[in-house]
Amino acid sequence: MKLTATPLMKIGHLGVNLFVKRDDLYPISGGGNKGRKAEYILAKCIADDCNAVVTCGSAQSNHVRATAIRCKELGIACTIVIHAPKTNNIQGNLKLLYMLGVKVVYCDMADVAKVMDGEMEEYAKQGLKPFYIWGGGHCLEGTKAFYDAAFEAHTQAKQHFDFVFHASGTGATQAGLHVGFKKINLATQVIGISVARQNPRGTEAINHSALELVNENGLDVQLSKNIIFDDEFISGGYEKTNPEQLSVIKAVAEQTGIILDPTYSGKAWYGMQQYIKSGRVKSGSNVLFWHTGGLLNLMATKQI
Ligand SMILES: *Cc1c(COP(=O)(O)O)cnc(C)c1O
């Protein structure tokens, strides 16, 4: 059941030794970091002898799409609670939920916990054993997936990175990469570019997940206080963008063939470019851009 490693590309761009970890190609349709998380989370579901899943997200959530696909691959029943009004705009991730034929329930944001509990009870009544997954796949298994992924990238590169950049949301991806790269080489700096959250909340969430990972797995890692969660490039919030970021997304596609999106990876790339331009990342550094995906988010927008 172990899915395969994603490619690591070396492209040399922007005056640095730029590597790109292609988790956008993670082997679940639509790819992305939520595919990597889903593999680990659903393995826990099976280890717990569960045979149904209830989770939640927005209409364009990559987490719910990756979870629904993994459930179908494994033959596990799946209910997705969408905390937004029902829409006739069936695009991107939402289109795949309908193609997969998982149960889709809509509710108000304020009712999501109650509605998810109700769906859990519903499965229990049917004689199934349901498994609950937090929105975004924000949990220990999701963090562990990225801890292991840091080693995957290191093995592929056969050298140390000075910096790792990626799009950061709930903090599970960054916590896993942060602890993983600290274990590999204390000098590597993982820089999460926020897609929505501001500090101190963003940094606190990463700290919390990193501590949980270290404690639960008994890891011998020096957990430094220098988690870098940069909220400078959120451009107004989740799913918001601006002309400057859109032009970078377009330029990267034209110059490298790498497809970024305005909700996630485009913000991260834009942020990385600002670090390089401002000299915070010196030319000649070994820089890893961790491409977390977002293709279906791009396809669901009217931009570009
Ligand atoms: C969810 C998501 C992120 C952020 O991951 P977190 O673990 O929540 O920080 C980044 N990129 C894409 C494409 C995502 O779907």
pTM score: 0.97
C-alpha of 124 from chain center: 30
127 CA distance to ligand 1 middle (Å): 34
**pLDDT band per the 50, 70, 90 thresholds, residue 304:** confident
What atom in ligand 1 is closest to the CA of residue 24? 13
C-alpha of 29 from chain center: 15
CB of 167 shorter than 6 A to ligand 1:
yes
CA–CA separation, 41 vs 182, rounded Å? 23
Residue with tokens 């997705």: 80
DSSP state of 80: E
Tens digits of residue pLDDT in 94-110? 999 999 999 999 999 99
125 CA distance to ligand 1 middle (Å): 33
Which amino acid is residue 76, in one-letter code?
I
The pLDDT score that the predictor gives to residue 16 is 96
**Listed range (1-5, 20-24, 173-177, 251-255) with the worst mean pLDDT:** 1-5
Q: How far is CA 102 from CA 11, 95, 252, in A?
A: 39, 11, 35
The pLDDT score that the predictor gives to residue 2 is 64
What atom in ligand 1 is closest to the CA of residue 136? 8
170 CA distance to ligand 1 middle (Å): 7
> Is pLDDT of 3 > 90?
no
CB of 294 shorter than 6 A to ligand 1:
yes
**pLDDT band per the 50, 70, 90 thresholds, residue 1:** very low
Tens digits of residue pLDDT in 24-61? 999 999 999 999 999 999 999 999 999 999 999 999 99
Tens digits of residue pLDDT in 64-81? 999 999 999 999 999 999
| pLDDT more than 70, % of the chain | 99
Q: Counting beta carbons within 10 angstroms of the beta carbon of residue 86, is it exposed (0 to 12), middle (13 to 18) or buried (19 or more)? A: exposed
Probe ligand 1: pick from 29, 33, 207, 227, max atoms within 8 Å of CB? 33
74 CA distance to ligand 1 middle (Å): 23
Do 56 and 87 form a contact (C-beta atoms < 8 A)? no
34 CA distance to ligand 1 middle (Å): 7
> Is pLDDT of 129 > 50?
yes
CA–CA separation, 117 vs 216, rounded Å? 26
CB of 92 shorter than 6 A to ligand 1:
no
Q: How far is CA 152 from CA 112, 134, 155, in A?
A: 36, 26, 5
Tens digits of residue pLDDT in 130-172? 999 999 888 999 999 999 999 999 999 999 999 999 999 999 9
**Number of other CB atoms surrounding residue 166 within 10 Å:** 26
Do 175 and 200 form a contact (C-beta atoms < 8 A)? no
